[in-house]
A and B are shown apart, each in its own frame.
Chain A
Amino acid sequence: MKPIRLSTALLTLFLFLGGGLALAGKADVPIEGLPAYGKDKPLVLPQVVEKKLPNGLTLWLIERKGLPLVSTYLAVKGGSAMDPRERIGLSDILSETISAGTKTRSARQIAEELQSLGADIEVGTGKDITYIGIDGLSSAADKLLEILADTARNASFPDNEVKLAIENKLQSIIASKSQPSYDLNQVFHHRLFGEHPYAFVNPQPEVISRISRPELIKAYQQRFQPNRAILIMVGDLPTGTMETLAMHHLGDWKNTGATPKEIPAAPAHAQPSLALVDRPHSVQSTIYVGRPMPAAGNPDEFSLKVANTIFGGAFSSRLTQNIREDKGYTYSPRTSVTEWAKGGMFRISASVRNQVTAATLVEIFYELDRLATTLPEDEELSRAQRYLKGKFLLANETSSSLAATLTGYWIDGKTPADLARYVPGVEAVSKNDVLAMGRKYLSSRQQSIAISGDASAIRDQLSLFGKVEVVQP
């Protein structure tokens, strides 16, 4: 997985445009006058210096000359899936408070000091990871690493900051509940993962309000230990300097010896069902279709990426072309295959007007089953492969994005050498591999469906597909 970029803005704005595409399956007529692609330039991979400090801290260091910037991540094993069963949501408060004060700095001092260094701090959690990231001017690397180490080692969880974080979280839960996808997301995860820790995405307000400072400190001390951590630095600085700085600020960091309980593997088999979350007055239905998938490191990784790209992972994919460009049912359908340390998820999402809820499902099933029964066109396959390879290049264009990629690699159990396996991995996928992925994972009968919408307006349409369970989140 990729670390989730936390954003202070509650709302993001997409005033964005369209993509079109010719009918998939129709033979492509060459466009008169259109020049061909040029030759690909050879891929230049970054040189990663891998080290381990005596206390067990792993270092991955990359010098990238260019803009005078440096990006660093300090990531540890253990994220939201490690929250105690009776304290689900603890990680949310933990990530809000780690940079809210240390033994020697107040929250405001941290914020102002970073601002004066041109830097941002980002503390985040994923299902299996907690991380602190700082991006700033490379000329200030020493100071930036000092602050990073201070938050990783000496966070003090001041009472007033913990109280404020809990209060704000309670309000933001109330605010998020009005988003159509909020309850839906929870219902969908429960359908896929049952009672496994991966199933819990929305913390309960009554649980959040009970979180205490000692619980935060305990989780912090369990997770933040050098032998459970990695420091990744990418930027305009010699790796030797990076190593010296790491040794200086983190070399005497001690392990606490605490060993948190590891989480079990998540369910990976499909259990199809049809759930409806009633949202009276809704003018749209938000549709989720999907299933649990294998964990990171499974042998189908590249075949799945290519199959998903052909199906719905890009603008030029079959599903977008069908339900957006051809039918105009939806603004932006999305599909994704996500992998975590202990499990994975395939998900299609689309928001459509009430009247075409059933019609959209029909098209989704058609495209899923087409992928599971017929071979893709040569041109579809090569386009998907080029798309993924280009995306890989573009995704690692800057220091900060490369640092984020590598952080995701580490938590998934990959190594820097996997950077070199990406392009050949994508290129090796055949049309038969894509068909096999369709049969193995993607046919419509294997999918769970969850929909948020106005039950009085859409329930009748949905009953065509089987028993509709109206569920409370």
Chain B
Amino acid sequence: MNRLLLNLAVLLLGTQMASATSMPIQTFKLDNGLTLVVSEDHSSPTFGLSIAYHVGFRLEPRGRTGFAHLFEHMMFEGTPKAPKGSFVKIIQGGGGSLNGSTRYDYTNYISTAPVSALEPVLWLEADRMRHLDFSEENLDNQRDVVKEEIRVNVKNKPYGLFFWTDLAALAFDKWENAHDGYGSFVDLDKASIEDVKHFHKTYYAPNNAVLAIAGDVDPEQVYQSVKKYFGDIPAAQIPPRADVTEPLNTKERFREEQDQHASVPALAIGWKMPGPDSPDYYPLAVLGELLLGGDASLLHQKLVKEKQTMLSISGGMGWPLGDPLTFDGPSLMVAFGLYKPKHEATEDVNSIQQVIDDIARKGVASKRLKAVQTKMIADYYKSIARNLKRADYLAITQLLHGDADLLNRYPHLIEKVTPEDIQRVATKYLSTNNRSWIDRKIAPHQQEKQQ
């Protein structure tokens, strides 16, 4: 058993929940600006790896909505040295799996495998940071794949992710925060090979990335390998980051939509949240869990169990594209659920607001708060039980905050939230004025089918 786990065990087995944990985290920096974070853990002969680049939806070029995500697909299309398909073949041939995803503030490429595959995977990550196979054929192919992805997830699907894309468009004012990260087909069609080259050159540079590895490895050895494979990739001039902060809204926003595929109506509410530099940030994360985390949550109990007017309700801060550890700017506290026909969505929105106003007025019982905190911390440990998730959190927190050690402080940040904090942030942020919501009704042809 390694040090990390031993410490956690000792701390958690007591009646008090843990605060000062000490997962071993070693950070290295290459001359070209690449940061490497390693967390050694020998409990399984595997590794998790995440390389995160500091560019996401917010920074994609105007008139090119969806470009960051399209670019992510291009990262799997091969390089001058390793032709299309090599990466997947080598990682799967090494017994592992891989993925990539695009989010508001970063794009990450993750892989996990038995440790015997680590060296070739490091080489391949360095290779695609250095250069890509910038061919029209690959771009056209991936443009088609992305469009199919959007058809599957948005156009042909009930609810079509309106609780992400449409809600953000309604609640936010700045283009960076409000535009559709999946992109419009018109914009996707406009993307050119020149755009791809420029984006790679601008953002996919060692000084704009963090590489993190968790698992059955020796940090010093990993550092030597990383130096060997990544060391001669030149740094780039990173453009200054736009100011994406926004004030809270001062007037409620509402929109009614019609869903072509759904047969049960839905609603989604979003309250604007501050970025992670705000002292209100972690109290808001805990408030999100208190209201929306699972069967014990206040809104599930009120709307699904007590009033029985909603079929489901879920959400939280940063939902559905992230969690409190994965944002570098404003997000939304989202509540999304299906409501039963034969009553108006406004009734449910009012009931939800009543639960919140109740907290704002009377606060929360400390026993309830303690249970929520215990659950959040336990869930956090369950998630980092996997090397892959641990590596991913290390890469993202180091990238966004320059501070992978945030992971060791996270339980404490959750634990120290007080009932007064909860009351204060509920009042300040979860107000009617700061609320944007969408009533997603079912289309007439769906209604007819049910009659």
The verdict on B371 contacting chain A, using a C-beta distance below 8 Å, is yes
- Interface locus among B27-35, B90-98, B240-248, B399-407: B90-98
Nearest-neighbor residue (CB-CB) of A28 within chain B: B89
> Which among B124, B148, B371, B374 is the interface contact of A330 at CB below 8 angstroms?
B148
- Interface locus among B113-121, B167-175, B324-332: B113-121
- Interface locus among B99-107, B199-207, B230-238, B421-429: B99-107
> Which among A69, A175, A391 is the interface contact of B158 at CB below 8 angstroms?
A175
Contact pattern, B 18-54, Cβ under 8 Å of A = 1, otherwise 0: 0000000000000000000000000111100000000
Contacts between the two chains (Cβ within 8 Å), count: 301
Contact pattern, B 326-341, Cβ under 8 Å of A = 1, otherwise 0: 0000000000001010
> Which among B102, B159, B375 is the interface contact of A118 at CB below 8 angstroms?
B375
In the complex, chain A residues whose CB is within 8 Å of the CB of B97: 315, 390-391, 394
Instruction: Name the residue among B1, B83, B103 with the largest chain A CB count within 10 angstroms.
Output: B83
Q: Using A41-B216, A314-B92, A328-B145 as known contacts, say yes or no to A171 and B340 having CB atoms under 8 A apart.
A: yes
Q: How many residues of A are in contact with the other chain, CB < 8 A?
A: 97
Q: Using A31-B82, A328-B148, A390-B113 as known contacts, say yes or no to A117 and B45 having CB atoms under 8 A apart.
A: no
Q: In whole angstroms, what is the CA distance A172 to B157 when docked? A: 15
The verdict on A21 contacting chain B, using a C-beta distance below 8 Å, is yes
Q: In whole angstroms, what is the CA distance A10 to B72 when docked? A: 27
Instruction: Name the residue among A68, A352, A382 with the largest chain B CB count within 10 angstroms.
Output: A68
Contact B85 A44 (CB under 8 A): no
Contact B123 A35 (CB under 8 A): yes
Contact A389 B378 (CB under 8 A): no
Q: How many residues of B are in contact with the other chain, CB < 8 A?
A: 109
Contact A33 B81 (CB under 8 A): yes
Contact B82 A34 (CB under 8 A): yes
Q: Using A115-B296, A174-B263 as known contacts, say yes or no to A16 and B100 having CB atoms under 8 A apart.
A: yes
Contact pattern, A 117-134, Cβ under 8 Å of B = 1, otherwise 0: 111100000000000000
> Which among A17, A21, A23 is the interface contact of B101 at CB below 8 angstroms?
A17
Q: In whole angstroms, what is the CA distance A63 to B112 when docked? A: 24
Q: In whole angstroms, what is the CA distance A285 to B155 when docked? A: 13
In the complex, chain A residues whose CB is within 8 Å of the CB of B445: 281
Contact B371 A116 (CB under 8 A): yes
In the complex, chain B residues whose CB is within 8 Å of the CB of A16: 99-101
Q: In whole angstroms, what is the CA distance A383 to B94 when docked? A: 7
Nearest-neighbor residue (CB-CB) of B73 within chain A: A18
A42-56 at interface with B (beta carbon < 8 Å): 43-44
Contact A111 B295 (CB under 8 A): yes
Contact B155 A283 (CB under 8 A): yes
Q: In whole angstroms, what is the CA distance A145 to B248 when docked? A: 46
Contact B76 A35 (CB under 8 A): no
> Which among B46, B72, B308, B385 is the interface contact of A393 at CB below 8 angstroms?
B46
B291-328 at interface with A (beta carbon < 8 Å): 294-296, 301, 304-305, 308, 311-312, 314, 320-321
Q: In whole angstroms, what is the CA distance A32 to B127 when docked? A: 11
The verdict on B136 contacting chain A, using a C-beta distance below 8 Å, is no
Contact pattern, B 57-88, Cβ under 8 Å of A = 1, otherwise 0: 00000000000010011011110011111111
The verdict on A335 contacting chain B, using a C-beta distance below 8 Å, is no
Q: Considering the complex of A and B, which 9 residue pairs feature the smallest CB-CB distances, nearest first? A: A390-B95, A118-B378, A21-B85, A328-B144, A17-B100, A116-B371, A22-B85, A383-B93, A111-B296
- What 8 additional pairs, Cβ within 8 angstroms, besides A17-B101, A19-B76, A394-B113? A15-B181, A16-B99, A37-B94, A281-B260, A283-B156, A330-B148, A331-B148, A390-B95
